[in-house]
Structure 1
Amino acid sequence: MSEILERRARLLGPHMTTFYREPVRVARGKGVWLWDTNGRQYLDCYNNVPHVGHCHPRVVEAISKQASELNTHTRYVHDLILDYGEALVAKFAHDLESMVMVCSGSEANDVALRMAQAMNGKTGIIGTDNTYHGNTTAVSQLNSSKVPIGGYLDHIRQVPAPDNLAPVGGTRAEQAEAFAAGVENAIAELEASGHGVSALIVCPYFANEGFPTLERGFMDRAISAVRKAGGLIIADEVQPGFGRIGSHWWGHEKLGFAPDIVTLGKPMGNGHPVAAVVTRHDVLTCFQEQFKYFNTFGGNPVSAAAAMAVLNVIEEEDLVANAADVGAYALGLLTEVAKRHDVIADVRGSGLFFGAELWRDGKPATELCALMVDEMRDRGVLLHSVGRHDNTLKVRPPCVFSHANADQLADTLDAALEVVA
């Protein structure tokens, strides 16, 4: 392992993350399972990229078949991108009827921000203070993990993110109003500075913020304030989208709001690099009139084939219902584990996106959480941490996760806590 890690550090940089104290050197995957180069099997409870399971045969076949026939850019006319686009926008319950296909969630969010600026001629952007939206120059200004060189630009405002155990405003009951007040303050500052409000961008599941439990309507007052100021609403569905949360196809549906722009990524192609921006026709038209935009690989026939296969598998294998069923079952198991371990301060989630927040001595148990991530890896279960203090165990497996997989997760977590906590 030391030799490959040295090569990796030299070629990919010394800070390329590996998740675990002892990295997993993967060789193959199938369904919810990964195997390392020594043949050891791991239950994958973390990867949302293989949304329908690692190496799903339908997706592999679609990619292989299309690659053997045609692959080129979208300045040539081909049917598959249109077939996929129609199938995708049909999954939205309001007037989001047009799309731009790109290669990553970062690209999607970058384009979405420019769409909003094109529509209203303003530049101010509001996000939360504990978020992540990608790696381009524009969206990296929104990320909270590292301050950009030179500091955040003057057109960026970060508002306090919602939280279960340390709620904005002091109590869960007051949190929606306090969050909205933060957005309203940001609007006032942006308007006073001359930037105005171009957009509010949020993950509607607040995934990187630690996926707090929020009631339907939580965003209503904040959204109303943004729209009154002429801004657009961008929902970054890269993590909660495509039915992962079980109750709905999209996170914004669960919270009960209609965004102007939706961005998609990771699970869209089950590991094939494909992403999209879905929006109203007037928004897309305005963007195209303001910016000369073309993406060489976005929407190529192979990417469209992979994405179409994923949509078909989700429907045919009823994976949204599976996420709801197995997710509820797993939360019940974790709740029972929490009764035996007082370091678990909160168990929460929706569908196959859930976890447990760890506290000790009245403080976030960040170090304990890191130890648990490694202990679970050593016991053959892969998960990770998230949240402002990295003290929440994050479970986000492929959507073919089963009751038996949930049993293994809960049993392993229980045993690991006995040793680590």
Structure 2
Amino acid sequence: MEQYVEGLRCQDVHAGLRTVDPNSPGLIPLKTTRLVGMAADVAALIRDRQLIADVNALETVAVTELDVAPAAFDQVLALLEEAEFVELTRNPAGEVTGLTENVPMYRDLYEDLGGRWRSRKPKQFEEQMLAVVDRLASGPVPVEVLSEAVNLSSADAGRVVTIGQQSGLLRTVSTIDGDIAYSPFTAFEHPDVLNDLLTAHGPERMLAEFETLKNHQGLAITSTEHPLLVDAVARGLVPAPTVQLPDQTMRAFATLPYTLDRELLITRKPVLDKALAIIACARCAEDFGGFNNVSRAAHLINTLLEVGSISPHSSSQRQYLLMRNRGIITFGPDDVSWGSWVRPTLIDTPDNREALSIARDMLLAGEPMAAGRGASDQARDMLSLDARYLQPLQTAARSRNLVRVPDKEYGKFFDVMMGRGAL
């Protein structure tokens, strides 16, 4: 795996283990992975916060919101300092009292943390777990061939699957062709549909087509080349917005969302829907542009984010109509007074910018990074609110009892993190 993928998967593993007793002996082999995953979460929490004046407040928030193990917090800070993501302030006794953050953009963040995970020489089991989590990000896979897919022995695969099921990192469904493993972080929430697809098309085609889709988000699918994906779209398992081609036919552009932010798949689904529409239009412009194809779909998105509009041409209205209909762009007038073309112009809102960032990540990395993996908007917003209006977040379902800071006291930590008052 590439380093940035390893950094991503470390965060995945930590997220999956949040509902597991952190003192479980079965988690001992995952210490390095959990540490890097916790560091990724903390880095996302403090990114763009610049100065954290009281590190004790940060620790309380990290433990409560991100399930960072209290015993590991100092190690997390040390790792972030080693990466030069933070500059720590210490008192005369050498104790950390505050920090200044310098956390980079998410792709660079995961690239660096993945390299540091690798440099710590993780145990073989950790490498195997990351390989399985990464493989399942591409779609379901039969358990019996999982070992071959990620180069594991049958015994090692069984151990990884057992820990994965117990921790929530993977799920299995029994079908006529045997057990199928899939990731709960994808949109695959319908085991019955998976069973139907396998019965109709077989596991080999399923593996091949989902792998193709993961490697090319916004895949233009046809019933002859991608029969399983066309079937999956028809059954509501795989989203695929449609865009009109130059020959006036409609083409579906399939996507495979994979994100840890469950709100992005549920309460914030309108943002994800916009992102998928952007991907479809960008891929159409890249592959079916008519007179003038764009060189790269991601470049088109960068232009909208940085410039705010796209140069008009004869196919602009056809290619970007779906984005217009989703409220992402408007069609401005032609650059010349006598012209009849339209200029696609960004409707500059936070939701639209987030959707563009998600779409770009999916095109470049296969899944959201900037939007789906940071601290939740609510958690970050809480850092700026008056403590009187705060309530502790519940960011993951707990299967264990926690000793919590009382609500009234907990709110004070956010004020301290923002430099208002002292504990």
TM bucket (normalised to shorter chain) is under 0.3
- Structure 1 or 2: larger helix share? 2
Q: Radius of gyration: which is bigger? A: 2
TM-score normalised to structure 1 length = 0.27
Which has the bigger relative contact order, CA under 8 A and spacing at least 6? 1
TM-score normalised to structure 2 length = 0.27
